[in-house]
Amino acid sequence: MTLDGRIIVVTGAARGLGRAFARACRDAGARAVVIADIDEARGLETAAALRAGQCDIVFMRYDQGDPASIAGFGEALAARFGHIDGLVNNAALATGIGGKAHDEIDIETWDRVMQINVRGVWLAVRALTPLLRKSALGGRIVNLASDTALWGAPRLLHYVASKGAVISMTRSLARELGPDGIAVNAVAPGLVLGESTEYVPKERHDLYLNGRAMRREQTPEDVTGPVVWLLGPGANFTTGQTIPVNGGFVFN
Task: Give me the DSSP letters along 138-193.
Answer: --EEEEE--THHHHT-SS-HHHHHHHHHHHHHHHHHHHHHGGGT-EEEEEEE--B-
Strand 183-189 versus strand 86-89 pairing type: unpaired
pLDDT greater than 80 at residue 199: no
What does 172-187 look like in DSSP terms, one character per residue? HHHHHHGGGT-EEEEE
Given a cut of 80, whether residue 152 has pLDDT beyond it is yes
Residue 62 pLDDT greater than 90, yes or no: yes
pLDDT at site 202: 87
Mean pLDDT of all residues in 47-63: 96
pLDDT for residue 95: 86
Residue 126, phi then psi, degrees to nearest 5: -60, -40
Domains and CATH numbers, the chain: 7-245 (3.40.50.720)
User: Taking the complete model, does pTM exceed 0.75, yes or no?
Assistant: yes
The model's confidence at residue 17, banded by pLDDT at 50, 70 and 90, is: very high
Percent of the chain beyond pLDDT 70?
A: 99
Report helix, strand or coil for 43: helix
Task: Quote the strand ranges of 23-85, DSSP E.
Answer: 32-37, 56-61
> What pLDDT shows up at residue 195?
75
Q: Calculate what percentage of the chain has a pLDDT beyond 90.
A: 91
- Residue 198 clears pLDDT 90, i.e. is over it: no
3-state class (DSSP) for residue 100: coil
C-alpha span between 10 and 35 (Å, rounded):
6
Assign 193 a pLDDT band (cuts: 50, 70, 90). Answer: confident
Mean pLDDT of 91-96: 92
Whether 159 sits among the annotated catalytic residues: the reply is yes
Provide the mean pLDDT of the chain: 96
Taking the alpha carbons of 228, 93, 135, 20 in that order, is the dihedral positive or negative?
A: negative
pLDDT value for 252 = 77
pLDDT-derived band at 21 (thresholds 50, 70, 90) equals: very high
In this predicted structure, what is the pLDDT of residue 113?
Answer: 98
Over residues 142-149, mean pLDDT: 98
196 pLDDT higher than 80 = no
**Which one from 62, 159, 199, 208 is the annotated catalytic residue?**
159
Beta bridge mates, 143: 89, 186
